[in-house]
Amino acid sequence: MQDDIPTVSLPSGVDVSALGLGTWMMGEEAHNEADEIASIRKAIDVGMTLIDTAEMYADGKSEQVVGKAIAGRRDDVFLVSKVYPWNADAKGTISACDRSLERLGTDYIDLYLLHWRGPHALRETVAAFETLKQQGKIGAWGVSNFDTADMEELFSVPNGELCAANQVLYNLSRRGPEFDLLPWCQKHHVPLMAYSPIEQGRILRNHELIRIAKAYQATPAQIALAFLLERDGVIAIPKSSHPHRVEENRGAADLDISEEDWTALDAAFPPPSRKVPLEML
């Protein structure tokens, strides 16, 4: 029997799966497309229904792969995409979104993010996002790679407090956000979406992670994801182009880690004791 995947509530009240699927690097090589589509469909089948992409990924080809995978199943998916910072002015945001919709083969994106801070004033980007919402092209908007001071600034512009998520680098080996950004987001009810949740595979060789995983007959990736699922208001979006790994990652929701092992993980991957500037990949 599998446990349900936890959900996280967006400010609008919509509940989304706290475990989704990333798609960076998908669409790069045509010969991988069948596996990529199978992985996205597997994610939907096992309840990892939040699918994250961006106009940047493979120059739009990731969005095309996602579009093929979700064809006929659009309503089962919570779709996230992102606009390049240099496109995020009043007109550019609207045209970038239209191009993404075309590639995704849909008429709405559930959550549309500013990929990182760029040359355009936040108030202009927010106004464009609000226009997209009124047009029904997006359900909600958010940001990515915003540190605490960026969030404060965002909340000071008109409608900035309508931000529905902040997607940042957060995993066992990058716990900096726990010092101030995560508490800030929790206080303001802005879900934190953890990207590179298994550090692109690099943390999986950690001896302590391997030891703890063995004790639960689990894998290091599952423990790393369980660590994120344990936190309020955190969504993890591991990427895999292999359906069996997607299934493995979904198993993270079934783990029940003891206090003793959380403490052991804290010793191996210490939480921050002071402000650490937000890192980016």
* Distance of closest approach, residue 193 Cβ to ligand NDP, in angstroms: 8
Using CA atoms, how far residue 61 sits from 7, 78, 87, 233, in Å, is: 29, 19, 18, 30
Regarding 170 and contact with ligand NDP (CB under 6 A), the answer is: no
Residues numbered 98 to 157 that lie near ligand NDP (CB under 6 A) are 115, 144-145
Active site residue 195: no
Nearest to 23 by CA among 4, 45, 42: 42
Burial class (CB in 10 A: 0-12, 13-18, 19+), 150: middle
- DSSP class of residue 176 equals G
Using CA atoms, how far residue 26 sits from 3, 21, 60, 145, 182, in Å, is: 29, 11, 10, 21, 29
Residue closer to ligand NDP (CB basis): 27 or 197: 197
Q: Pairing relation of β-strands 78-83 and 192-195? A: unpaired
- Between 189 and 228, how does the x/- string for binding to ligand NDP read (CB under 6 A)? ------xxxxxxx--x--------------x-x-------
Q: Which of 102, 150, 178, 248 binds ligand NDP (CB under 6 A)?
A: 248
Q: Which of 41, 123, 211, 245 binds ligand NDP (CB under 6 A)?
A: 245
Q: Which of 27, 142, 176, 238 binds ligand NDP (CB under 6 A)?
A: 238
Catalytic residue positions? 57
Residues lying near ligand NDP in the complex (CB under 6 A) are found at 22-24, 52, 115, 144-145, 167, 195-201, 204, 219, 221, 237-242, 245, 248-249, 281
